[in-house]
Amino acid sequence: MDAPGLWAKFIWWIGDGTGLPDTVLHIHAGMAVLIVARIATGRSLGTLVPLSVVAAAEAVNEILDRMHYGSWRWPDTISDVIHTMFWPTVICLAVRLRPMGRRDLRGRK
């Protein structure tokens, strides 16, 4: 079984089926993984747990790409990582750094 080859075919199928460019697919995938990780773990988006799941999923994706193509394609890899991680990172930081309202403070006694 050629897992990297199957993964590449699956990704091509998604791209062909949606008609979306690779960069947009990475943005959507990063957000989808973030939300699924948030629901599955029950951890806040302000913790590093959901963000770490996104990073791990992207790392696996890029490793499978590397295995399939036989070498790193650095411009593509860097672009994929940036597009996948940007909004999940912004959301994590925004939730972590937001000032707490009175309602939030009542639960922290």
The pair of structure tokens assigned to 39 is: 């629901």
Contact 20, 27 (CB under 8 A): no
Closest listed residue to residue 51, CA positions, set 99, 97, 98, 93? 93
What number is the average pLDDT over the span 47-54?
Answer: 96
Best-predicted range by mean pLDDT among 5-9, 11-15, 88-92? 88-92
Percent above pLDDT 70 for the chain = 91
pLDDT score at 1: 72
Q: What is the pTM of this model?
A: 0.86
The full set of domain ranges for the chain reads 21-98
Determine the straight-line distance between the first and last CA of the chain, rounded to whole angstroms. 54
Q: 51 pLDDT band (50/70/90 cuts)?
A: very high
Higher pLDDT, 94 or 105: 94
